[in-house]
Amino acid sequence: MSKRLRSSEVCADCSGPDPSWASVNRGTFICDECCSVHRSLGRHISQVRHLKHTPWPPTLLQMVETLYNNGANSIWEHSLLDPASIMSGRRKANPQDKVHPNKAEFIRAKYQMLAFVHRLPCRDDDSVTAKDLSKQLHSSVRTGNLETCLRLLSLGAQANFFHPEKGNTPLHVASKAGQILQAELLAVYGADPGTQDSSGKTPADYARQGGHHELAERLVEIQYELTDRLAFYLCGRKPDHKNGQHFIIPQMADSSLDLSELAKAAKKKLQSLSNHLFEELAMDVYDEVDRRETDAVWLATQNHSTLVTETTVVPFLPVNPEYSSTRNQGRQKLARFNAHEFATLVIDILSDAKRRQQGSPLSSSKDNVELILKTINNQHSIESQDNDQPDYDSVASDEDTDLEAAASKANRQKSLDSDLSDGPVTVQEFMEVKNALVASEAKIQQLMKVNNNLSDELRIMQKKASRLEKQNSTPESDYDNTPNDVDPDDPGSSRKGRQRSVLWQGDGSVPDIAEAHTVPSPILPSTEDVIRKTEQITKNIQELLRAAQENKHDSYIPCSERIHIAVTEMAALFPKKPKSDMVRTSLRLLTSSAYRLQSECKKTLLGDSGPSADIQLVTQQVIQCAYDIAKAAKQLVTITTKENNN
């Protein structure tokens, strides 16, 4: 008993006292600071719940307590328990360590990289190893030894493994043996309670046959966990599965508003998704519900007088590397939905989940979600787009704000019944917003990668340029060989940039690079000039990124001004009406993105968007604008290099 009390009072990651959160799939208790890192990793790495302020199925909490009290943490810190690890300098975090980078780096290594987990001897055939581990799991779940099964799962055993000789899965075996905590652990790792054995029996059938009625009822709850969680999020109630009620779907008080042709067409598109794609969308919405609910608990349990940026909310779903970039982007855009938009999406999913389970026929069948998304995209394109383009571009489109405004206007007059505080949007509007709004940590990572790649390319090009300009001996003159070039450090150039910046802000429009009265010119600036200006832009973007990552929001405006000046100077290198379509397109993206960046950064001022402005959303838009600028600058470097070498 003393061991249980002592271990339950210590954070598994830093040994801090009184942990108030649990990582369900890791079987550990963690403190607030370590939990903030767990949340940023995503549910595919760590599923966190507050021990007191989150509703718990009793047996799920009992499962986590049993794992932790029986040393489950040693699974994730196996090699750290080896005395040799002390000699190698490896150690776990301690309570006095800073969250970033100390605790964060340790937690990522521990759970994301599995750096300290016991490794099996290398074998040529990994599938054989996984099969062997899964067979061991299949046998072990009949016992109460949870930590053994968790260790097997950590090594790669599959929770849904179908034993070819036995004709069933580990969940069938655990259910037959009445091992309810094993069933909870398997379900956390993805075991499907609806799976049938070779005779057509489910795990719940096994439990009933063995007289384990509590387990049988819990298995039914697990089977409907996704839709139950969505319903509870909307109205605070769950279905009565014992009496055959498996779905609760809140009704819309103003359902007459939802009968437009567009609304009907949108619902048909949602219904036309294949079961696989519908399940993916439903799981993504489930994860977003979890994020929102956990955020609410997080904010309610923190001391706001000492709340720091290191342990703030998670503004969108973290990237899951196992998912496609399209799906990750879609998942992150869910965070942009306001309450009534998101509630309506949840209702639509609940309705269609019920329809699918009952086997209602479809009016039409299209299994390609890409086609559906493209159809909606093309309805709202301002400029014609190629149908082969990906649904989610690598950068934000210029019509984002128009789509957002249109979706917002369409949703303004709708409402739900008393179960909900806001009104609904249609699936059509959901798809519009989903395709229009770009958010996220993924963009930060993409932008950093682009900047790193760009810096590497610039260094290579600089070396080439240096060899071409051997006759110039001083560093200042290495790239100063054209009358168009303007030194960024020259006061005159700064004045020119600022004057043009003021002009842009004054008339509220983006200057058109290709003026109608100007004759198209095939002449391009030298590669060296473009490289130098791009370097200046890149340097300023990196400064803006650092400000975003460190939450220095007051630095946004001065950073955006410096980027704007650098962009203006780079645009001035090119003829007013370049002959090349690619150059015109890149210049337009460059200058319009710089203008949009300034507009977004101005929103950090209280007078511009009010004290209630969502700084997280502003930051996301700032990052995407910076990404557009970096992409355009890189394109111009590539184009001028290619043209000047021909």
**Within a domain: residue 359?**
yes
- Beta pairing, strands 48-50 & 28-30: unpaired
**Within a domain: residue 521?**
yes
The CA distance from 95 to 15, in Å, is 6
The CA distance from 70 to 462, in Å, is 60
Say whether pLDDT at 37 is over 90.
Answer: yes
Alpha-helix residue ranges (DSSP H) falling in 380-507: 400-411, 427-436, 441-468, 491-507
Helix (H) or strand (E) holding 610: none
Say whether pLDDT at 200 is over 90.
Answer: yes
Do residues 492 and 573 both lie within one domain? yes
SS3 463: helix
- How high is the mean pLDDT of the chain? 75
The CA distance from 532 to 543, in Å, is 17
**Within a domain: residue 164?**
yes
Do residues 459 and 562 both lie within one domain? yes
Question: What DSSP designation does 259 have?
Answer: -
Among 77-81, 119-123, 413-417, 519-523, top mean pLDDT goes to 77-81
Return the pLDDT at 446.
55
**Within a domain: residue 286?**
yes
Say whether pLDDT at 202 is over 60.
Answer: yes
| Tally of CB atoms within 10 A around 178 | 18
The CA distance from 194 to 204, in Å, is 8
* Tokens of residue 261, six digits: 């042709």
Do residues 156 and 23 both lie within one domain? no
Among 59-63, 253-257, 346-350, 394-398, top mean pLDDT goes to 59-63
Lowest mean pLDDT among 130-144, 189-203, 458-472, 544-558: 458-472
Say whether pLDDT at 132 is over 70.
Answer: yes
Lowest mean pLDDT among 58-62, 217-221, 288-292, 389-393: 389-393
Question: What DSSP designation does 279 have?
Answer: H
**Within a domain: residue 120?**
no
SS3 521: strand
Do residues 287 and 406 both lie within one domain? yes
Query: Domains in the chain: how many in total?
Result: 4
Q: Provide the Cα torsion 30, 31, 32, 36; round to 10°.
A: -40
SS3 93: coil
SS3 578: strand
pLDDT bucket at 451, cuts 50 / 70 / 90: low
Q: Provide the Cα torsion 402, 431, 598, 602; round to 10°.
A: 90
The percentage of the chain sitting over the pLDDT mark of 70, rounded to a whole number, equals 66
Lowest mean pLDDT among 96-105, 209-218, 490-499: 490-499
Q: How many CA atoms lie within 13 A of 334 on its CB side?
A: 28
Do residues 588 and 491 both lie within one domain? yes
SS3 193: coil
Cβ(70)–Cβ(58) below 8 Å:
no
**Within a domain: residue 537?**
yes
Lowest mean pLDDT among 82-91, 283-292, 413-422: 413-422
Do residues 587 and 454 both lie within one domain? yes
Return the pLDDT at 542.
84
Mean pLDDT score, 587-600 = 88
Cβ(42)–Cβ(23) below 8 Å:
no
Say whether pLDDT at 434 is over 80.
Answer: no
Angle ∠(496,500,505) on CA atoms, nearest 5: 150
Cβ(329)–Cβ(279) below 8 Å:
no
Mean pLDDT score, 191-207 = 96
Lowest mean pLDDT among 56-60, 274-278, 488-492, 500-504: 500-504
Distances in Å between the alpha carbon of 273 and those of 349, 365, 372? 11, 8, 9
- Beta pairing, strands 28-30 & 21-23: antiparallel
Say whether pLDDT at 574 is over 60.
Answer: yes
**Within a domain: residue 526?**
yes
48 forms beta bridges with 23
Say whether pLDDT at 352 is over 70.
Answer: yes
Return the pLDDT at 376.
33
Reported as a single tens digit per residue, the pLDDT across 366-391 is 333 333 333 333 433 333 333 333 33
Residue bearing the bigger pLDDT, 561 or 86: 561
Say whether pLDDT at 221 is over 70.
Answer: yes
Write the CB contacts of 624 (distance below 8 Å, at least 6 apart in sequence): 395, 396, 438, 439, 443
Return the pLDDT at 230.
95
Return the pLDDT at 370.
37
Say whether pLDDT at 445 is over 70.
Answer: no
Q: Can you give the pTM of this predicted structure?
A: 0.58
Q: In Å, how far from its chain's centre is CA 452?
A: 21
Do residues 101 and 170 both lie within one domain? no
Domain enclosing residue 184, as ranges: 126-223
Helix (H) or strand (E) holding 523: none
**Within a domain: residue 117?**
no
Return the pLDDT at 56.
95
Write the CB contacts of 591 (distance below 8 Å, at least 6 apart in sequence): 510, 511, 513, 567, 568, 571
* Tokens of residue 101, six digits: 């980078």
The CA distance from 347 to 352, in Å, is 9
Measure CA of the first residue to CA of the last residue in the chain; give whole Å: 79
SS3 587: helix
- Sign of the CA dihedral 137, 140, 144, 149? negative
Do residues 102 and 196 both lie within one domain? no
Do residues 81 and 20 both lie within one domain? yes
The CA distance from 317 to 329, in Å, is 9
Do residues 386 and 277 both lie within one domain? yes
Cβ(633)–Cβ(590) below 8 Å:
yes
Angle ∠(155,156,159) on CA atoms, nearest 5: 125
* Tokens of residue 538, six digits: 């890149």
Lowest mean pLDDT among 83-97, 194-208, 528-542: 83-97
Say whether pLDDT at 364 is over 50.
Answer: no
Mean pLDDT score, 303-332 = 79
Mean pLDDT score, 131-149 = 95
Say whether pLDDT at 6 is over 50.
Answer: no
Q: Which one-letter amino acid corresponds to residue 27?
A: G
Domain stop point among 112, 141, 159: 112
Write the CB contacts of 305 (distance below 8 Å, at least 6 apart in sequence): none
Reported as a single tens digit per residue, the pLDDT across 156-177 is 999 999 999 999 999 999 999 9
Q: What CATH number does the domain containing 143 carry?
A: 1.25.40.20
The CA distance from 275 to 296, in Å, is 31
Return the pLDDT at 128.
63
Do residues 392 and 288 both lie within one domain? yes
Q: What CATH number does the domain containing 597 carry?
A: 1.20.120.330
Q: Find out whether the peptide bond into 315 is cis, omega within 30 degrees of 0.
A: no
Mean pLDDT score, 141-160 = 95
- Nearest residue to 169 (alpha-carbon basis) of 155, 190, 148: 190
Do residues 215 and 262 both lie within one domain? no
Q: What CATH number does the domain containing 13 carry?
A: 1.10.220.150
Helix (H) or strand (E) holding 350: helix 339-357
Q: Helix axis angle, 275-301 relative to 32-41, nearest 10°?
A: 160
Lowest mean pLDDT among 229-233, 353-357, 496-500: 496-500
Residue bearing the bigger pLDDT, 97 or 643: 97
Say whether pLDDT at 304 is over 70.
Answer: no
